[in-house]
A = this chain, B = another copy of it.
Amino acid sequence: MYELFFKNISKHIALTPEEQRHIIKKLQVKRTTKNEILLQQGETCREMYFVESGCLRIYQLHADGAETNILFCPENWWASDGLSFANGTVAEYGISSLEDSTLVFISAANLQNLFHQIPKLERFFRLLFQNAFGLMQRRLNLALSTSSKDRFEIFYKQYPTLIDRISQKHIASYLGITPVFLSILRKRRVKRD
């Protein structure tokens, strides 16, 4: 059950079997169906999800009802509203499932406990933040400096498996374009091959 979870953590820090057992005690598991909402914008994000299988998305809901997908989180990714989770503030973003998913998650309170017992976990979660920061910075840079077509091509190369798992309207929202135009870009791409 937790293999993928600990494999993910072991990329950055080493845990003894005993520490792993400690951690498991604090973990919870949730199974969702497609299109379940895990966090509503405006609530407080009290849980941090690790995606064992399936896929989540983090998005912002705009005043006019439109949505922008900030991030897709397929298996082996972490999902939360980072600032809300860390500071207990109101969440700026929502989280929902794009597929039936299995999630391992930990509450903010339990994580605080674990930090005292296993301080090196702090390091791991700090690194998660850093990586997320780097990712956002890179995506901002992309959004500001490249055309929709280029962003689409880059997405296509970077996440080829997500292309057929995620509906096009969600991919379009992630890229900052309309579903109509994404459809046109796809068509051009097929012609080229």
- Give A contacts to B, CB under 8 Å: 60, 62, 66, 68, 70, 82-83, 86-87, 92-93, 126, 129-130, 132-134, 136-141, 143-145, 173-176
A66 touches B136 (CB 8 A): no
List the B side residues contacting A129 at CB < 8 Å: 126, 129-130, 133
List the B side residues contacting A68 at CB < 8 Å: 141, 144-145
List the B side residues contacting A145 at CB < 8 Å: 60, 62, 66, 68, 176
A136, A140, A143: most-surrounded residue (chain B CB, <10 A): A140
A70 touches B137 (CB 8 A): yes
List the B side residues contacting A134 at CB < 8 Å: 82-83, 92
Interface residues of A, dominant DSSP: helix
A86 to B128, CA, bound (A): 13
A132 to B68, CA, bound (A): 20
A132 to B136, CA, bound (A): 10
B130 touches A140 (CB 8 A): no
A130 touches B82 (CB 8 A): yes
A60, A62, A144: most-surrounded residue (chain B CB, <10 A): A144
A29 to B159, CA, bound (A): 44
The residue from B60, B133, B141, B144 contacting A132, defined by CB atoms under 8 A apart = B133
The residue from B62, B83, B174 contacting A133, defined by CB atoms under 8 A apart = B83
